[in-house]
Amino acid sequence: MKITSAAEMAAIDQATTAQFGVHGLTLMENAGSAVAGFALEQWPQAGRITIVCGRGNNGGDGFVAARRLHAAGKVVEVLLLGPAEGLKPDAAAMLGRLPFRPMIVNTVAEIARECSRSLAGAELIIDAIYGTGYQQRSGASAAQQLAEAAIAAINAASAPVLSVDVPSGVDADQTTSTAEGVVCRSNAVVTFTAAKPAHAFAALTRGPVVVANIGSPAEAIQSKQNLNIITPQEVAALFAPRQVDANKGRYGHVLVVGGSVGKSGAAAMSAMAALRVGAGLVTAAVPASVLPMVAMAAPELMTEPLGDANATSFSTADAARCLELAKSRTVLAVGPGLGQKPGAAEFVRKLVKGAHAPVVLDADGLNAFVGAAQELNGSRPLVLTPHPGEMARLLGRTVAEVQSDRVGTARDFARRHHCTVVLKGFRTIIASPTGELWVSATGNPGMATGGTGDILTGMIAGAIAQFPQRLEEAVRAAVYLHGLAGDVAATRGAEESLVATDLLRLLPAAFRTLRRRAEAKLIRLN
């Protein structure tokens, strides 16, 4: 799904009306109906609902939602921030269709009085104050002061909050994780037509963020940003039901190269992740000294010993052996648990240079190219999976510099080295060699634990093994599923207790969740 700026979204709405004949009132009716429908689905027991509306089109969406919820038998109250005169035409028309009068609030003092009455008794609050039209400005106007007082009152209330488009006080175009100023808390967000940058990059809510199609045809949805967000519909389409006469040979063979004394688990988890995501066969090539531990991790894995029985790491002589093995493999995953003992970096560089199959490079496989990033360039497809520290080392920069421009950093590196970059972290970014960029909004803080990166490496390799001709789609799907498995794990336990192998155990549940979401009317982003 394309990510559009607020200005591009306004242009899309205009084009939908001017070029495709969909009236603005129809778009607003569809938007408000989507909000009401989502509220009824998520909070069916909420009998008393307060909707706080601004004077723009976001408020108009709120008026429609109020009418729809009233028709569904809910006790609904609308607080309008400012006079009814002078509303935008479509919003004014929807206000006129309300079957009851709104409570008009004109001063901060009235906000305190009305909110203590209305919000205190509400079982659900709908935030329809600002929407995508908000931009932070210095010096608060009377209208902004009124809105900020309303936001503060909502934040002090106990009822859950559903935000229309974006939580009020958030700039829809922000690409940072946190917003400045007065921001409405939110338990869920319903936006329309396409994602905006804030939906992709900002920490808006711990609840669902969904997109409703309100009538804009695909031809009208244009963006020049080369930014996209991964959706369950896209991932489910890649992982379509398998043919009834399927066999393991159809789903590729992954070669995982890694492991060392003290880090054998990394190679084992990566290899098992490739199997769990659907690869037909997986071989783990590890030092002979740690091979028994890797083999014992899962009987489904095949293993290949490297070095002699006393070898604790890799030597350059092992690269020739791995390249010979790679001739009959679909994809290589290099780096999990590799270590940085003498000879390891040279071994990795020789292996990556000589490979013809796609290579997924992670952990100490990436560290092998510190100071030698130019050697990453080559004709075989290459996928890098750095966390910010590894990215900083590859570039000779600080982590802070990488984090200050994650989009630009990933995009520039992918273009320069003709590779796909998966820059891990909050809102993992996937940058392609063409400059196209995708964001995954799945995942949670519980995944900040050792081993989750090794599992991601294996999942990416396993997805590529199944779909080698659709490499970019496979990478995106693996990243999305990895985060979704983490989300499933967090809902079944606690973020603090999540460990990497929980993702392997719950990947089947993540696939089921994916397919359920792909069939839903609204597109869920996180």
Query: What angle in degrees, to the nearest 10, is found between the helix axes of 452-466 and 471-492?
Result: 140
> What percent of the chain is predicted at pLDDT more than 90?
87
The torsion region of residue 173 among left (phi > 0), alpha (psi -120 to 50) and beta comes to: alpha
CA pair distance 65, 58, nearest whole angstrom = 11
Residue 135 binned pLDDT confidence (cut-offs 50, 70, 90): low
pLDDT given for residue 341 in this prediction: 84
Strands (E), 10-63: 48-53
Q: What is the CATH number of domain 6-223?
A: 3.40.50.10260
Distances (CA, A) of 162 to 3, 90, 165, 166, 210: 21, 22, 10, 9, 11
Residue 140 binned pLDDT confidence (cut-offs 50, 70, 90): low
Over residues 339-361, the pLDDT tens digits come to 888 888 999 999 999 999 999 99
CB 440 within 8 A of CB 480: yes
- Residue showing tokens 């070898």: 311
Over residues 377-402, the pLDDT tens digits come to 988 999 999 999 999 999 999 999 99
Any idea what the Cα angle at residue 180 is, between residues 174 and 184, rounded to 5°?
90
pLDDT given for residue 314 in this prediction: 76
* Residue 375, both tokens: 């050697």
114 three-class SS: helix
Mean of the per-residue pLDDT values of the chain: 94
CATH topology of domain 236-520: UDP-N-acetylmuramoyl-L-alanine:D-glutamate ligase (3.40.1190)
Return the DSSP state at 447. Answer: G
Any idea what the Cα angle at residue 211 is, between residues 235 and 486, rounded to 5°?
50
* Residue 46, both tokens: 């909420």
**Residue ranges of the chain assigned to CATH 3.40.1190.20:** 236-520
User: pTM of the predicted model, to two decimals?
Assistant: 0.94
pLDDT tops 70 at residue 473: yes
CA pair distance 449, 193, nearest whole angstrom = 35
pLDDT given for residue 311 in this prediction: 67
- Residue showing tokens 């007082």: 149
pLDDT tops 90 at residue 258: yes
pLDDT tops 70 at residue 309: no
**Residue ranges of the chain assigned to CATH 3.40.50.10260:** 6-223
pLDDT given for residue 315 in this prediction: 79
332 beta partners? 255, 359
Mean pLDDT confidence for 34-54:
97
Q: Is 31 exposed, middle or buried (0-12, 13-18, 19+ CB in 10 A)?
A: buried
CA pair distance 466, 459, nearest whole angstrom = 11
Over residues 144-169, the pLDDT tens digits come to 889 999 999 999 999 999 999 999 99
pLDDT given for residue 108 in this prediction: 85
CB 391 within 8 A of CB 402: yes
pLDDT tops 80 at residue 180: no
Mean pLDDT confidence for 293-298:
93
pLDDT given for residue 156 in this prediction: 93
419 three-class SS: coil
